[in-house]
């Protein structure tokens, strides 16, 4: 008998992770339900301020909600799911199998990307139905998705790897709400008070939504500042998670 | 397998100078009260903990340094949990089967652990006993050579226990080394080839269940009417008056004599006097008494129970056992880490 290849194990693990994520109602609600609700509600009920030069709410909301979707899946869903797995000894048990940590991480990444792909397609289609017409530059979106996923997955796993399961749940949800409000996703950054806006621009949520907006909106170029902030988070947060993660 | 093992959690020493070994095709039961260091010992063998001192080897390999070579050859059942809540029985077994080169057939294994009619149930919805049986299935799916089971039958109903015990017996027959921790003495009697009794991270005794039972002084124990004349009973049995003691609730013990003549004299005396006789036990201690005596007394660093193995140590065990019995009872007892 030959040993299962690393690929076989990663595929089996990733498939299980995806099944578990889609079976978990709370994770689906966070990954897909909340972004869709935000998009549909605020596109049809015009209560939010719009940035200058934008006529239709959906034109501003669509990229913001795509960014929100990434934050939902990569930070909240992954973070909470992994936090509870750690609390319940799932990661400890996997440590005594031939799977190994690198393949486990690879499977988690595949799970997040797969769930995100489903959620992003659903949100994108809904936005188009609501009248969103993205620029051709949107083909660059996968690069942005990868950067945003790295940043938020790093934050989610940093919490999951150091806090207890219920504490991860609370921290991830709390942080999610704060970043939703100051992330330029539903409320334009220039509507925020000056001090708050300055801080918000250094956080990954605002950087991600700005870059997403820039690549998907005609006649805009990607702001260098936001791109740099996003890149720093995309490299720094996973490094922090790797350095602090405790398996038991 | 384990030599002079010391495991520390911060300042707390959980395992303090433990040595033992187990052979393939045998079941070693690590017995001890809560906090005795059972889990710390097993987790060191599994590679989860690094020994603070001493050495550990499993299949000739270092569990931490050779972790990658070893994980495919061992099976692990944690004390609890270890499986994602939303995972179904069959999915869990199939997933773990994918980690190993030559896994057991998934359907057969599910059948063997008695979960065939629960294969679609998620881990969350399983009873405690079903969760333990699934956990056992995952420990076995890779055809391990050494299996570590941490309290495999705790919280399991009698039917589930039977399933787990018969699987352990089959593993032994297949030449697998099974190391299990427990505080269930009945389980040890039924399953174990070798017993290691530990407390406060130290070895109190080691041997087969039979040798541990006979380590104590012979005695006749029985239950009858409370308040019988002990002096008369001693005379009938032909022993010193001090050899007859009450053990409470109508229990009596005649120490130093366990032959048929004593039993005949005793029972005819009881019969003539019109007293009932119940729960008659002749010979060495029951395992439960051995355990309670050892664990209830002190763990004595200067007088460790001798290890099992070479024939010449057998006599030494007997003497140490008796000496320990008298000495440990008298002393207040230094209990560690309870």
Q: What is the per-residue pLDDT for B2?
A: 66
**Contact (CB, 8 A) for B278 and B268:** no
Closest to A1 (Cβ–Cβ): which among B87, B98, B101?
Answer: B101
**Contact (CB, 8 A) for B239 and B257:** yes
Q: Is residue B93 part of a domain?
A: yes
Chain A residues 19-48 within an 8 A CB cutoff of chain B: 19-20, 23-24
CATH label of the domain that carries residue B48:
3.40.50.300
The 10 Å Cβ neighbour count of residue A50 is 16
Whether the CB of A9 is below 8 Å from some CB of chain B: the reply is yes
| Containing structural domain, residue B42 | 2-212
Q: What is the per-residue pLDDT for B106?
A: 96
Q: What DSSP line would sit under B78-123, residue for residue?
A: -SS--S-TT-BHHHHHHHHHTTSSSPPPHHHHHHHTT-GGGTTSBG
**Which chain A residue shows the shortest CA-CA distance from B103?**
A1
**In DSSP terms, which residues pair with B278 in a beta bridge?**
B223
Long-range contacts, A160-164 (Cβ 8 Å, 24+): A160/A78, A160/A79, A160/A80, A160/A81, A160/A82, A160/A83, A160/A86, A160/A245, A161/A82, A161/A86, A161/A241, A161/A244, A161/A245, A161/A246, A161/A247, A162/A244, A162/A245, A162/A246, A163/A83, A164/A83, A164/A87
Rounded CA separation B64/A214 (Å):
50
End-to-end CA distance of chain B: 26
Residues B186 and B61 in one domain: yes
Closest to A90 (Cβ–Cβ): which among B68, B83, B102?
Answer: B83
**Contact (CB, 8 A) for A88 and B85:** yes
Distance from A85 to chain B by nearest Cα, in Å? Answer: 6
Which phi and psi (to 5°) does residue B88 adopt? -85, 160
Angle, helices A165-182 vs A204-216, to 10°: value is 50
Residues B93 and B120 in one domain: yes
Rounded CA separation A161/B47 (Å):
20
Number of structural domains in chain B: 2
Q: What DSSP line would sit under A29-43, residue for residue?
A: IIIIIHHHHHHHHHH
Whether the CB of A98 is below 8 Å from some CB of chain B: the reply is yes
Closest to B72 (Cβ–Cβ): which among A19, A92, A98?
Answer: A98
Chain B positions in Cβ-Cβ contact with residue A2 (cut-off 8 Å): 101
Rounded CA separation B258/A80 (Å):
64
Q: What is the per-residue pLDDT for B3?
A: 63
**Which chain B residue shows the shortest CA-CA distance from A85?**
B84
Q: Is residue B262 part of a domain?
A: yes
Q: Is residue B57 part of a domain?
A: yes
Q: Is residue B72 part of a domain?
A: yes
Buried b (16+ CB within 10 A) or exposed e, B261-270: ebbebbeebb
Question: CA dihedral defined by A19, A23, A26, A27, rounded to 10 degrees?
Answer: 10
Joined together, the tokens standing for residue B52 give: 């603070």
Residues B61 and B192 in one domain: yes
Residues B66 and B143 in one domain: yes
Chain B positions in Cβ-Cβ contact with residue A13 (cut-off 8 Å): 95, 98
Tell which residue, B80, B73, B211, has the closest CA to residue B140. Answer: B73
Chain A positions in Cβ-Cβ contact with residue B68 (cut-off 8 Å): 98, 100
Residues B231 and B191 in one domain: no
Give the percent of chain A with pLDDT over 70.
Answer: 99
The 10 Å Cβ neighbour count of residue A72 is 28
The 10s digit of each residue's pLDDT in B287-316 is: 777 777 777 754 443 333 333 333 333 333
**Which chain B residue shows the shortest CA-CA distance from A12?**
B95
The 10 Å Cβ neighbour count of residue A5 is 9
CB atoms A13 and B95 under 8 Å: yes
Rounded CA separation B119/A193 (Å):
56
Domain boundary among B283, B303, B332: B283
Task: Give the 3-state secondary structure of residue B53.
Answer: strand
Whether the CB of A90 is below 8 Å from some CB of chain B: the reply is yes
Rounded CA separation A91/A214 (Å):
39
Q: Looking at the predicted structure, is the pLDDT value of residue A152 above 80? A: yes
Q: Is residue B334 part of a domain?
A: no
Rg (CA), chain A: 18
Q: Looking at the predicted structure, is the pLDDT value of residue A36 above 70? A: yes
Domain boundary among B283, B298, B315: B283
Chain A positions in Cβ-Cβ contact with residue B87 (cut-off 8 Å): 16, 20
Q: What is the per-residue pLDDT for B9?
A: 66
Residues B79 and B222 in one domain: no
The 10 Å Cβ neighbour count of residue B122 is 18
Q: ipTM value, please give it.
A: 0.89
Residues B64 and B199 in one domain: yes
Joined together, the tokens standing for residue B240 give: 């010193």
Q: Is residue B146 part of a domain?
A: yes
Residues B118 and B132 in one domain: yes
**Contact (CB, 8 A) for B175 and B25:** yes
Residues B86 and B160 in one domain: yes
Chain A positions in Cβ-Cβ contact with residue B72 (cut-off 8 Å): 3, 98
Query: Degrees (nearest 5) of the Cα angle B130, B133, B136?
Result: 155
Q: Is residue B114 part of a domain?
A: yes
In this prediction, the residues of chain B whose per-residue pLDDT falls under 50 are: 298-338
Joined together, the tokens standing for residue A134 give: 């993205």
Residues B50 and B160 in one domain: yes
**Contact (CB, 8 A) for B152 and B121:** no
Q: What is the per-residue pLDDT for A210?
A: 94
Joined together, the tokens standing for residue B269 give: 């005396």
Residues B157 and B49 in one domain: yes
Q: Which residue has the higher pLDDT, A234 or B282?
A: A234
Residues B19 and B86 in one domain: yes
Chain B residues 117-176 within an 8 A CB cutoff of chain A: 138, 142
Rg (CA), chain B: 23
CB atoms B81 and A88 under 8 Å: yes
CB atoms B72 and A90 under 8 Å: no
Q: Is residue B16 part of a domain?
A: yes
**Which chain B residue shows the shortest CA-CA distance from A247?**
B48
Q: What is the per-residue pLDDT for A86?
A: 93
**Which chain B residue shows the shortest CA-CA distance from A104?**
B99
Closest to A12 (Cβ–Cβ): which among B81, B82, B98?
Answer: B98
DSSP collapsed to 3 states, B240-301: CHHHEEEEECCEEEEECCCCHHHHHHHHHHHHHHCCCCEEEEEECCCHHHHHHHHHHCCCCC
Q: What is the per-residue pLDDT for B297?
A: 59
Chain B residues 36-95 within an 8 A CB cutoff of chain A: 46-48, 68, 71-72, 74, 76, 78, 80-87, 91, 94-95
């Amino acid at each position: 008998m030959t040993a299962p290849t690393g690929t076989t194990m990663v595929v089996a693990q990733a498939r299980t992770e995806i099944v578990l994520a889609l079976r978990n109602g709370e994770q689906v609600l966070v990954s897909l339900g909340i972004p869709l609700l935000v998009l549909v509600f605020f596109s049809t009920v015009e209560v939010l301020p719009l940035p200058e030069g934008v006529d239709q709410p959906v034109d501003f909301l669509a990229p913001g909600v795509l960014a929100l979707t990434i934050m939902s899946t990569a930070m909240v869903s992954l973070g909470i799911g992994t936090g509870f797995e750690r609390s319940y000894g799932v990661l400890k048990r996997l440590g005594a199998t031939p799977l190994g940590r690198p393949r486990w991480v690879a499977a988690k990444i595949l799970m997040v990307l797969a769930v995100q792909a489903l959620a992003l397609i659903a949100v994108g289609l809904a936005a188009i139905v609501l009248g969103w017409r993205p620029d051709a530059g949107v083909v660059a979106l996968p690069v942005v998705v990868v950067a945003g996923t790295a940043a938020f997955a790093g934050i989610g796993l940093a919490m999951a790897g150091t806090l207890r399961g219920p504490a991860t749940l609370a921290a991830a949800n709390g942080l999610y709400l704060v970043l939703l409000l100051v992330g330029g996703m539903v409320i334009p950054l220039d509507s925020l008070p000056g001090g708050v806006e300055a801080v918000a621009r250094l956080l990954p949520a605002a950087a991600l939504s700005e870059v997403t907006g820039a690549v998907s909106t005609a006649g805009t170029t990607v702001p260098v500042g936001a791109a740099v902030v996003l890149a720093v988070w995309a490299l720094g947060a996973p490094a922090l998670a790797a350095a602090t993660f405790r398996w038991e | 397998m384990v030599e002079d093992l010391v495991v520390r959690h911060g300042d707390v020493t959980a395992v303090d100078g433990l040595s033992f070994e187990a052979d393939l095709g045998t079941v070693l039961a690590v017995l001890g009260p809560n906090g005795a260091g059972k889990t710390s010992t097993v987790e060191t063998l599994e590679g989860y903990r690094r020994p603070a001192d001493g050495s550990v080897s499993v299949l000739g390999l270092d569990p931490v340094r050779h972790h990658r070579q070893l994980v495919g050859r061992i099976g692990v059942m944690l004390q609890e949990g270890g499986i994602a809540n939303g995972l179904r029985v069959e999915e869990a077994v199939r997933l773990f089967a994918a980690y190993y080169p030559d896994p057991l057939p998934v359907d057969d294994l599910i059948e063997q652990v008695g979960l065939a009619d629960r294969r679609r149930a998620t881990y969350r919805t399983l009873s405690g006993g079903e969760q333990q049986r699934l956990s056992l299935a995952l420990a076995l799916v890779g055809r391990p050579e050494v299996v570590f089971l941490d309290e495999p039958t705790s919280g399991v109903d009698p039917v589930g226990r039977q399933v787990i015990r018969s699987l352990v017996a089959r593993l032994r027959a297949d030449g697998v080394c099974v190391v299990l921790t427990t505080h269930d003495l009945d389980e040890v009697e039924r399953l174990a080839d070798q017993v290691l009794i530990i407390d406060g991270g130290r070895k109190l005794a080691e041997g087969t269940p039979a040798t541990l039972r006979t380590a104590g002084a012979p005695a006749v124990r029985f239950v009858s009417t409370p308040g019988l004349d002990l002096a008369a009973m001693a005379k009938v049995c032909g022993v010193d008056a001090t050899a007859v003691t009450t053990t409470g609730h109508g229990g009596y013990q005649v120490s130093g004599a366990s032959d048929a003549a004593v039993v005949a004299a005793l029972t005819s005396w009881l019969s003539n006097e019109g007293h009932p006789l119940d729960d008659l036990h002749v010979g060495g201690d029951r395992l439960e008494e051995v355990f309670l005596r050892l664990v209830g007394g002190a763990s004595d660093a200067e007088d460790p129970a001798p290890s099992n193995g070479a024939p010449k140590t057998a006599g030494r065990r007997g003497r140490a056992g008796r000496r320990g019995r008298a000495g440990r009872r008298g002393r207040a007892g230094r209990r560690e880490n309870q």
